[in-house]
Amino acid sequence: MILRKKNFLPVSNSFSTRKILCAVWFGFICVGNLLGQPGTDSATFLLHKFQQQIGKESYVVKRSDRSVTYSIDFRFVDRGMAVPLSASIQLSSSGEPQSFAVKGRTSRFSIIADTVTVEGQKAFIHEGDSAYTKSLSSISFPIAGFSPGTVQMLLIQYWKTHNHPQSISTLPSGSVSIKLDGLDTFRFGKSRLILERYVIGGLIWGNELLWTDKSGNLFCLITNDAEGDKLEMMLEPYESLLSVFIDQAAKTSMQLFTRSSKQSILSPTIIAIKNGDVVDIVNKKKVKDVVVIIRNGTIESITPTAQAKIPAGAHVIDASGKTILPGLWDMHAHFEQAEWGPAYLAAGVTTVRDCGNEFVYINAIQNAIDNGKGVGPHIIKAGIIDGKSKMSLGIVQADNKNEAIGAVQRYKKNGFEQIKVYSSVKPEVVKAICNEAHRLGMTVTGHIPDGMNLIQAVDSGMDMVNHIQYVTQILKKRASNGVIDFSDSSNIAALEFIRDNHVIVDPTLGVYEMIFRSLDDSITIIEHRFKQLPGPLQSQFANTGMPPTEAERMKGVMTGLKATVKRMHDLGVNIVAGTDMGIPGWSVCRELELYVESGITPAEALQTATIIPAIVMKKDRFYGSIEAGKKADVIIVDGDPLQNISDLRKLNTVIKDGKIYNPVQLHRMVGFDVN
């Protein structure tokens, strides 16, 4: 998630063995003079976010007759904020863990202070301010999530020496699974680098990809940080191979779900959905008791049941008592890991606009989905461009007209439909980006860069704006209480400017609700199915929010944000539903619930996640509504979202491109505990 960085509070955080070893040994010999011998006493990894190098992790080893101690220094700077962390882990000479200590930051806004001491079959644990003793299983290892990566390297080595157990208990809590998934060959200069590829599950939500040599020495780790963003570690001499590893990680991650989903996805030539009520989203009404015929992934007809003829051989879905709607859109996604694909579909989201990602990664993800080698929604790509500063994000940066033109052209050439401007772009460069994007038939969205306001950005050519905060920043507030005065003539003029210039806004209200919530309140107020989330996601979101006194002060701000969304809607401003990540998939439903809370009708809220985004992205010829001739992106829910928007959560069936998905099976694929 890109927005929430500034606001979130701390989060605790059938191979032949002989062939494998021979192949890896060959690769290891080729590069041994660069890496050093097995058991090297030090190494440095370069850390990256959005493929931009932001820091380093290094370790030094001290050995004695009885133990081996790794001292680890992990630190980076993310958009101007330092994130330092130190750790040490002591192992016996046979590789058994004896102690582990980690202290510092795991992201800009998350901290950790844990120690684990192992004595026999007991572990003495200090986790933050708490201390306790834990009895151990025979296979246990201390680790602290995704960082530092050195400990994951040692975890792999421990797994190997313990005969590849199916699961390893982790300390302070949890468990992990490790799988040797294959061998990958990389070209490095004139040499071949052959590495073992591992999939680790349980440390973060979903899978991490990790590559080692035959001795378990780490080369690359592709993971996610405590803010939900991709984080990559690359052994320093091999930095030039990072983009190759990112591409391989994306393909491998998507293939994992393709393998596991083959038995659960139905692909009939003809589908007949009978006895259901279809939502005519364009006219905001329900058409009762119809039969929808889908042939070869396209909607063929919508006919009253009494008049309908179901084709022979059709796969029939009985939708009695159910509502049939167009698939949902998330207009502010960050597809940071493969798990988002099944999670989106499981929530009824069949299209997302990715608002800024790693160039190589999102291209690989999209190609995998589009070519049937991955599970996920349609992806519309918005390529991110930032300026050059201490606060910059990513490696696509432009500080002058020529750099701006080159960046836009590169995105266009690679199938991106939109540009996303980020916060450090200079005002004069914003105009250059917009001019080139428009010349190439692209639109421009994004943050309002520092030194500009929304009106200036729109005058420079921006077509769309991410986040409601950039709207409220140009509105006057009553000095006494900070409430927005919508009767003020300047506020009326500002909102009419947005409308008259056809500016599209994705408010991301759910992000602000999560930021502003009191940590004393149950998070089930926001998401009642919270306990069904995978453990790592529960840990992340349970500690997201504010102390009660601060949250109380922010209630008025949240009220103002919702009121602004309602006022824009009433004026005719095009609003599109976007989440900026949030709780995977389910946050789309929450976003629409918040629109209804603001005073927008359920039908109007549904339009923000269906037909309106299809129109503004010029996809409405084929998507956004249930009409003959359009692509079969359809969801079936129990209940009636036109009466109760929360009935969207009662998802029964998802159809994307004529393929039928079971939401429960999709959720289970990515670790959700659903029935």
- pLDDT of 177-225, one tens digit each? 999 999 999 999 999 999 999 999 999 999 999 999 998 999 999 998 8
User: Residues near 253 by Cβ (< 8 Å), separated by ≥ 6?
Assistant: 207, 209, 337, 338, 339
In the prediction, which pLDDT does 27 show?
A: 37
Instruction: Inform me whether the pLDDT recorded for 659 exceeds 60.
Output: yes
In the prediction, which pLDDT does 225 show?
A: 85
As a whole number, mean pLDDT of residues 534-546 equals 87
Give burial (CB, 10 Å; 0-12/13-18/19+) of 81. middle
As a whole number, mean pLDDT of residues 351-367 equals 96
Same domain, 205 and 101: yes
Over the chain, what is the mean pLDDT? 91
In a domain, 282, yes or no: no
In a domain, 504, yes or no: yes
In the prediction, which pLDDT does 670 show?
A: 94
Strands (E), 426-538: 443-446, 464-466, 504-506
In the prediction, which pLDDT does 628 show?
A: 98
When pLDDT is cut at 50, 70 and 90, the band that residue 274 belongs to is very high
Of residues 179 and 33, more confidently modeled: 179
As a whole number, mean pLDDT of residues 252-272 equals 87
Handedness of CA 651, 601, 379, 319 (dihedral sign): positive
Which of 188, 88, 196 minimizes the C-alpha distance to 144? 88
DSSP annotation string for 374-421: S---EEEEEEEEB-SSTT--SS-B-SSHHHHHHHHHHHHHTT--EEEE
When pLDDT is cut at 50, 70 and 90, the band that residue 264 belongs to is confident
Of residues 639 and 229, more confidently modeled: 639
In a domain, 9, yes or no: no
Place of tokens 């998905």: 661
Question: How many domains are there within the chain?
Answer: 2
Of 244, 261, 278, which one is at a domain's C-terminal end? 261
Q: What does the pLDDT look like over 372-417, one tens digit per residue?
A: 999 999 999 999 999 999 899 999 999 999 999 999 999 999 999 9
CB 414 within 8 A of CB 379: no
Q: Tell me what percent of the residues of the chain surpass a pLDDT of 70.
A: 93
CB 275 within 8 A of CB 320: yes
Of 242, 261, 280, which one is at a domain's C-terminal end? 261
Same domain, 95 and 167: yes
C-alpha angle 229/230/233, rounded to 5°? Answer: 135
Same domain, 439 and 523: yes
Instruction: Inform me whether the pLDDT recorded for 279 exceeds 90.
Output: yes
DSSP run (H or E) holding 293: strand 285-295
Same domain, 381 and 513: yes
CB 168 within 8 A of CB 159: yes
Same domain, 190 and 76: yes
Instruction: Inform me whether the pLDDT recorded for 33 exceeds 80.
Output: no
In the prediction, which pLDDT does 481 show?
A: 66
In the prediction, which pLDDT does 214 show?
A: 92
As a whole number, mean pLDDT of residues 635-642 equals 97
Domain with residue 439: its CATH number is: 3.20.20.140
Beta bridge partners of 70: 61, 89
Instruction: Domain of residue 339: give its range.
Output: 325-669
Q: What does the pLDDT look like over 37-69, one tens digit per residue?
A: 334 599 999 999 989 999 999 999 999 999 999
In the prediction, which pLDDT does 211 show?
A: 98
Q: How far is CA 347 from CA 449, 511, 649, in A?
A: 33, 18, 7
When pLDDT is cut at 50, 70 and 90, the band that residue 87 belongs to is very high
Instruction: Inform me whether the pLDDT recorded for 10 exceeds 50.
Output: no
Half-sphere exposure of 40 (CA within 13 A, CB side): 20
Instruction: Inform me whether the pLDDT recorded for 436 exceeds 50.
Output: yes
Instruction: Inform me whether the pLDDT recorded for 6 exceeds 70.
Output: no
Within 10 Å of residue 525's Cβ, how many Cβ atoms?
A: 11
In a domain, 252, yes or no: yes
Q: What does the pLDDT look like over 548-568, one tens digit per residue?
A: 999 999 999 999 999 999 999
When pLDDT is cut at 50, 70 and 90, the band that residue 3 belongs to is very low
In the prediction, which pLDDT does 135 show?
A: 94
Same domain, 54 and 165: yes
Same domain, 216 and 329: no
Beta bridge partners of 199: 179, 209
In the prediction, which pLDDT does 480 show?
A: 62
In a domain, 273, yes or no: no
Instruction: Inform me whether the pLDDT recorded for 16 exceeds 50.
Output: no
Of 235, 261, 287, which one is at a domain's C-terminal end? 261
Same domain, 246 and 331: no
As a whole number, mean pLDDT of residues 290-298 equals 98
Handedness of CA 21, 22, 23, 27 (dihedral sign): positive
In the prediction, which pLDDT does 378 show?
A: 98
In a domain, 306, yes or no: no
194: tokens are 């052959």
β-pairing, 349-355 with 328-333? parallel
Beta bridge partners of 620: none
As a whole number, mean pLDDT of residues 492-498 equals 97
Convert 298-307 to b/e letters by CB count within 10 Å (16 or more is b).
Answer: ebbebbeeee
When pLDDT is cut at 50, 70 and 90, the band that residue 249 belongs to is very high
Same domain, 411 and 495: yes
In the prediction, which pLDDT does 263 show?
A: 67
Same domain, 517 and 646: yes
Same domain, 527 and 612: yes
Same domain, 247 and 360: no
Instruction: Inform me whether the pLDDT recorded for 30 exceeds 70.
Output: no
Instruction: Inform me whether the pLDDT recorded for 577 exceeds 90.
Output: yes
Half-sphere exposure of 442 (CA within 13 A, CB side): 28
In the prediction, which pLDDT does 536 show?
A: 87
When pLDDT is cut at 50, 70 and 90, the band that residue 14 belongs to is very low
In a domain, 340, yes or no: yes
Instruction: Inform me whether the pLDDT recorded for 32 exceeds 70.
Output: no
Of residues 63 and 22, more confidently modeled: 63
Q: Is the peptide bond before 148 cis (omega within 30 degrees of 0)?
A: yes
In a domain, 658, yes or no: yes
Q: Where are the alpha helices (DSSP H) in 235-312?
A: 242-261
